[in-house]
Amino acid sequence: MSDALRQFKSEIFQGLANPTRIAIVELLREGELSAGELIEKLGIEQANASQHLAVLRAKQIVLSRRAGNQVYYSIRDHALIEVLDILRRYFYGQLSSAVNMLQEVAGEKPKSRLRTHR
């Protein structure tokens, strides 16, 4: 695979590598919201939200459109939603593994160990 594609992917990931920005993308799942609405729902500083939105714009994750006094944001491509959905499933999968491990640790005769080599 090309370096350009790897670079591109890593920038997308970097754009999403922050819980606040993930929260923004998820708020935008249902449709566009103004910066003000996002700030209100996120409960964070205006400057901070604006900075995160700038990152999402720079990484081409969201689109913005000005309407009068406000700026409305939306997700640029549905693919990103799919990515988040896959990770949700992945998350619950990981959770189950963790539960299994705990059960094994708690039980007397663990049958299969999921330990790492260290």
Partner DNA sequence: CTCACATATTCGAAGTTTCGAATATACTAG
Partner DNA sequence: CTAGTATATTCGAAACTTCGAATATGTGAG
Contacts to its own copies from residues 17-56, by CB under 8 A: 17-19, 21-23, 26
Q: Quick check: 59 binds DNA (CB under 7 A)?
A: no
Contact region with DNA (CB under 7 A), list: 1-9, 53-61, 84-92, 107-115: 53-61
Q: Which is nearer to its own copies, 5 or 105 (CB)?
A: 5
Choose the one of DNA, its own copies, none that binds residue 60, judging by a C-beta under 5 to 8 angstroms depending on kind: its own copies
Q: Is residue 26 close enough to count as binding DNA by CB under 7 A?
A: no
Distance CA 55, CA 57 (A): 5
Structure token pair of residue 53? 């939105």
Q: CB under 8 Å to 25, separation ≥6 — which residues?
A: 16, 56, 61, 62, 75, 80, 81, 84
12 contacts its own copies (rule: CB under 8 A): yes
Sheet-wide strand order for 70-75? 33-34, 70-75, 62-67
With the C-alpha atoms ordered 101, 103, 107, 111, is the resulting torsion angle positive or negative? negative
Stretch of residues binding DNA (CB under 7 A), selected from 24-32, 65-73, 81-89, 96-104: 65-73
In sequence order, the 6+-apart residues with CB closer than 8 A to the CB of 94 are none
- Nearest distance from C-beta of residue 74 to DNA, angstroms: 12
Residue whose CB is less far from DNA, 23 or 101: 23
